[in-house]
Amino acid sequence: MADLQYKIIVGLEIHVQLRTKSKMFCSCALEFGAEPNSRVCPVCLGMPGSLPVMNKQAFEYSVLAGLALNCNIPMFTKWDRKSYYYPDLPKNYQISQYDLPLSEKGFIEIPLESGETKRIRIIRAHLEEDAGKNVHSASSYSQVDLNRTGTPLLEIVTEPDMNSGAEVRALAVELQRLVRFIGVSEADMQKGHMRFEPNINMKIIRNGKEYRTPIAEVKNLNSFRALERSVTYEAQRQLSEFLETGIEFGMGNKTTRGWDDEKEMTVLQREKEEAHDYRYFPDPDLVPVELTQEWLDEIKSRLCELPLKKQLRYVQEYNLSDYDAGVLTADRATADFFDEVVNAGGDPKRVCNLLTQTGLKITKEKNCNITDLPVTPKGMADLAKMVDEGTISASSATTIFEAMVQTGKQPDVLASELNLVQKSDAGELESIVDQVIAENSEAVADVISGGKKEKKARGFLMGQVMQKSKGQANPKVVSEILAKKLK
């Protein structure tokens, strides 16, 4: 068989809907699920004589995202018209940015399965307006809903630095976490807030000669699963087609393809247009945007410690598992609350267990953030300290946490009210241990003999002490007393 080596090459275009209340160039409200064509006006419908006005917040959100992506932020940018005809584009052009985007030449770090990170370069991130939506629910004709027309979109374009479907998925997941963390997008894919378009081709070396397959762009993917699987499928399709057709396969043009989720395969749509096909030119109705240093510094001041960096810090400084650190940094509210509790004196591992095992369960049930609960960072730190000091058991901490949410009371008060304070008085506990030893001579003999039954017998005796103390005995103190008496 001929010598064959190959490598998947993937770049990604991501459209992120910004979390503004109104559209990009008009005051129409953004509302998911509103009655079709009820959130439109002469500007977003492209009526003659209507003039667009830039949404300042959308621009600032985009600059903030560019900074988070380590991009250069030019002080001057402009708006361009991207001309094409489609039923959901009422103006027959889209207001976008062509040669002077508002951010460029950045990078994002993504976590790999090996535990390392990989740097993916960002070519540019520019701001534009969204098109409407074609609706195909009618049996014999299509309809158009223009509510989405004019929605502010940040388009992020990466270099082709990814080499597997798993890496592409990792970037998408990390980018979703990042834009949520800095507050520029809800990034809810079920509502179309994030859409992905991977550009995939193969580098193939056969008998010492290098070939490149034509790039295929898979359009409008709105789930991590579809994104990863489409990349994996398309790479395999290109490799198989190359092996069937040989060198002639590399002569084709760039194509766009759709993803059939049921058949789990890509489907050819059309040959891809080039930039000159869109006839870009500066929009005459919009003035360029000139950033001042003061304005840029104000936007920079909104940046926080980014999620992946925070996650790695939790692993390194607090010795948390990568999984737990990832759960804590899945949203900014939880991560910030965790930091505040630790700063208030809570042990990081103990606080992590309380938040991930109980706190997030409660917030999911109540459909809220951790900061919406009537629990203060100091209260949570005090609860963690009570467990570490042996005042209460770990299981009691869960009960108290839930009671704190219901009542707003402090943990020490609830521990007393719920009779959950552990007994640590050695004299009192020693009498209970003596009684258990006297009543369970067989288990005592098994412990003293040191045979196979020792561990089970010791656990049995411990259980008897806990039962007689009604669960209030401090297990650590009891264990010490048992060890002393059963040498």
**Rounded-to-integer distance, Cα 154 and Cα 157, Å:** 10
Confidence band for 1, pLDDT divided at 50, 70 and 90? very low
Q: Is the pLDDT of residue 248 over 60?
A: no
Phi and psi at residue 337, to the nearest 5°: -65, -40
Count of beta carbons in the 10 Å neighbourhood of residue 347:
16
155/439 Cα distance (integer angstroms): 74
Taking CB atoms within 8 Å and a gap of at least 24, the contacts of 304-307 are 304/181, 304/182, 304/332, 306/68, 306/178, 306/181, 306/182, 307/174, 307/177, 307/178, 307/181, 307/332, 307/335
Q: What is the mean pLDDT of residues 322-335?
A: 95
Domains of the chain: 4-294 (no CATH), 307-417 (no CATH), 426-485 (1.10.10.410)
Predicted TM-score (pTM) of the model is 0.86
The amino acid at 446 = D
Average confidence (pLDDT) over 162-180: 97
What percentage of the chain carries pLDDT values higher than 90? 72
C-alpha to C-alpha distance for 96 and 270, rounded to whole angstroms: 23
**Lowest mean pLDDT, pick from 41-50, 336-345, 390-399:** 390-399
Q: What is the pLDDT of residue 427?
A: 64
Give the model confidence (pLDDT) of 408-455 as tens digits. 999 999 998 998 887 555 666 677 777 878 788 777 777 777 777 778
Rounded percentage of the chain residues whose pLDDT exceeds 70: 95
Range of weakest confidence among 107-121, 127-141, 164-178, 470-484? 470-484
pLDDT band at residue 92 using 50, 70 and 90 as cut-offs = very high
d(CA 192, CA 16): 9
